[in-house]
Amino acid sequence: MANGSSRPLSPHLQVYRFQWTMALSITHRITGVGLVLGTLLLTWWLVAAAAGPEAFAKAQKFIGSGMGLLLLFGWTWALFYHLGNGIRHLVWDAGYALDLKNAELGAYIVAGASLGLTILAWIVGLAVW
């Protein structure tokens, strides 16, 4: 009990065993922050395009660098992951796949689909480019 009161302490991470649904929940929050940062990068690129050729060349040089491409790849993955996890939550909101077995299956599907769609998008993007 907390401080001698009759109220119980809230369980902490030491009480819970690892579950994929827990990992996906944490990752969903992290990718949400990543999407904001990636959108700021995209906004910088668009503003630089409007600002003139010198500003655009500077932004394009960074985005075309190894670090820029890695950030774009991560942003693409975060976008597909967040989309897949949002669809999974919509399925839950409709009252389906709420048991542990189907929740874990949904976690695997979201993880696999996000990686697969990211790779597919980059293959198509590079082929068109």
pLDDT per residue over 56-103, tens digit each?
Answer: 999 999 999 999 999 999 999 999 999 999 999 999 999 999 998 998
DSSP the chain: -GGGSSSPPPP-TTTSPP-HHHHHHHHHHHHHHHHHHHHHHHHHHHHHHHH-HHHHHHHHHHHHSHHHHHHHHHHHHHHHHHHHHHHHHHHHHTT-S-SHHHHHHHHHHHHHHHHHHHHHHHHHHHHH-
Domains of the chain are 23-128 (1.20.1300.10)
Average pLDDT, the chain: 90
* Tokens 């929940």 found at: 25
Q: Which two tokens stand for residue 45?
A: 């690129």
| pTM greater than 0.85 | no
